[in-house]
Amino acid sequence: MKEEDSIDKLEGRILELIGICETISKDNELLKNDQKLLRQEFMAQREKNKMAREKIEQILAKLDSIQS
């Protein structure tokens, strides 16, 4: 009986570990998707900042030419 109990206990632990691995795998996939989305948002914001900077530089250049 003891050997059978040990095997059942081991089987239960293995099933538990499989469940944990599946959960971790799903969480990892979600995190990868979140990271991809954040990277895309970051790049879009970076481009907007670049365009805003260029526009401000143009405005400042016009102001300088007006004052001269």
Query: Which CA distances in Å does 56 have to 5, 22, 52, 64?
Result: 75, 51, 6, 12
Say whether pLDDT at 2 is over 90.
Answer: no
Mean pLDDT calculated for residue range 35-59: 99
Buried/exposed 4-39: b ≥16 CB within 10 Å, e otherwise: eeeeeeeeeeeeeeeeeeeeeeeeeeeeeeeeeeee
Distance CA 12, CA 43 (A): 47
pLDDT at 5: 87
The 10s digit of each residue's pLDDT in 16-44 is 999 999 999 999 999 999 999 999 999 99
pTM of the model: 0.69
